[in-house]
């Protein structure tokens, strides 16, 4: 058993949190999974955040051959804005949970960016999962982000938005504003509702939320592939929004032909969304390249953790 010091990188998600441990030379020595997090301002948010860090770190440490001291850690979590109260609170909670002074807590888009490209190299990361956001870094090191300002006001291009927009169309079908297609029967059957008032009551339930809408996105996507014109419209709009996000970052950072890495279940798995996004991206930013990331968000978190020790 060695005593080499280790660094920790966390990717804190709503369903689970991953912790990856590495030595100073970057060699990964362990990985573990713990509980999920919620927004720090939500009820029980701080407690869930600390529990997620402790449980995932313990799981990783349990399988780690190196039992040396933890030198530094970086955590990526959604909803953490730079220099905001959430970042200050998150940093304090992480320091307490890990018993460590050298800690960085930031948005998961920032850890994804750090992991996707080599240190100092320019590029843009697009994330489209339950939520969606784009963030980039130019050759000068300047960063800019677009979208991702909370699902209630800015969920464009996400699985949540696709599910919600598809569901909104079914209400128009139900009351005669739109010709009914299979979109209505498929989504309503999935939710177990028969009448508009049942649907209205379901979506305002606190337990439904963004995830409830996001779970409908694969169904809308499947219908789009089968030729449902309304579902196709939803996916085309979502793809356009993703392209606009990337364009916004590229324009702000003066990157006319940026390299882009994509993360998230929606953009990785929903073929009509991919098709729409790629088509509109080339129209707006001709020559832009979509490439495979060098590493994931945990890899990026480890890069940021190492930078804390100079």
Confirm if 73 and 310 have CB atoms less than 8 A apart: no
Query: Does the fold of domain 146-290 match that of domain 6-117+294-307?
Result: yes
Confirm if 264 and 80 have CB atoms less than 8 A apart: no
Question: Quick one: 146-290 is in which CATH superfamily?
Answer: ATPase, nucleotide binding domain (3.30.420.40)
Model confidence pLDDT, tens digit, residues 155-169? 999 999 999 999 999
Alpha-carbon 23 to chain mean position: 26
pLDDT band at 81 (very low <50, low <70, confident <90, very high): confident
Among candidates 40, 19, 44, 41, which has minimal Cα distance to 98? 19
Q: What are phi and psi of 300, to 5 degrees?
A: -65, -40
Percent of the chain with pLDDT over 70: 99
Q: How far is CA 68 from CA 2, 3, 25, 50, in A?
A: 7, 4, 14, 22
Give the residues across from 247 on adjacent strands.
none
Give dist(CA 265, CA 269) in Å, integer. 6
Neighbours of 185 (CB within 10 A): 12
Give dist(CA 303, CA 297) in Å, integer. 10
As a whole number, mean pLDDT of residues 74-95 equals: 93
pLDDT of residue 151: 86
Q: What are phi and psi of 260, to 5 degrees?
A: -130, 135
The domain segmentation of the chain, as residue ranges, is 6-117+294-307, 146-290
pLDDT of residue 1: 44
Alpha-carbon 236 to chain mean position: 20
Q: What is the pTM of this model?
A: 0.90
Residue 310 CB burial class (10 angstroms; 0-12, 13-18, ≥19) = exposed
Model confidence pLDDT, tens digit, residues 1-19? 457 889 999 999 878 899 9
Angle, helices 182-191/159-174, rounded to nearest 10 degrees: 110
pLDDT of residue 138: 97
As a whole number, mean pLDDT of residues 116-120 equals: 94
Q: Which CATH number does 6-117+294-307 carry?
A: 3.30.420.40
As a whole number, mean pLDDT of residues 216-239 equals: 98
Confirm if 257 and 247 have CB atoms less than 8 A apart: no
């Amino acid at each position: 058993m060695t005593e080499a010091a280790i660094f920790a990188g966390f990717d804190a998600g709503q369903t689970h949190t991953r912790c990856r441990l590495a030595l100073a030379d970057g060699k990964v020595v362990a990985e573990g999974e713990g509980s999920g997090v919620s927004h720090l301002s939500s009820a029980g948010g701080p407690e869930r955040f600390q529990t997620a860090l402790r449980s995932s770190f313990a799981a990783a440490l349990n399988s780690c051959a190196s039992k040396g001291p933890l030198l530094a850690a970086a955590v990526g979590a959604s909803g953490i804005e730079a220099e905001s109260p959430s970042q200050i609170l998150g940093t304090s909670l992480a320091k307490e949970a890990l018993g460590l002074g050298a800690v960085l807590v930031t948005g998961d888009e920032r850890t994804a960016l750090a992991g996707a490209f080599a240190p100092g190299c320019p590029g843009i990361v697009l994330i489209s999962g339950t939520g969606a956001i784009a963030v980039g870094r130019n050759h000068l090191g300047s960063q800019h982000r677009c979208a991702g300002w909370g699902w209630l006001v800015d969920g464009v291009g996400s699985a949540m938005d696709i599910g919600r927009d598809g569901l909104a169309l079914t209400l128009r079908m139900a009351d005669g504003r739109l010709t009914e297609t299979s979109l209505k029967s498929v989504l309503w059957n999935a939710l177990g509702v028969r009448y508009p008032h049942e649907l209205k009551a379901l979506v305002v339930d606190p337990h439904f939320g963004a995830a409830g809408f996001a779970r409908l996105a694969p169904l809308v996507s499947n219908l789009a592939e089968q030729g449902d014109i309304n579902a196709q419209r939803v996916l085309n709009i979502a793809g356009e929004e993703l392209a606009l996000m990337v364009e916004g970052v590229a324009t702000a950072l003066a990157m006319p032909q940026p390299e882009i890495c994509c993360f998230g279940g929606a953009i990785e798995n929903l073929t009509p969304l991919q098709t729409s996004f790629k088509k509109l991206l080339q129209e707006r930013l001709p020559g832009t390249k979509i490439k495979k990331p060098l590493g994931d968000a945990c890899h990026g978190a480890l890069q940021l953790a190492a930078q804390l020790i100079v």
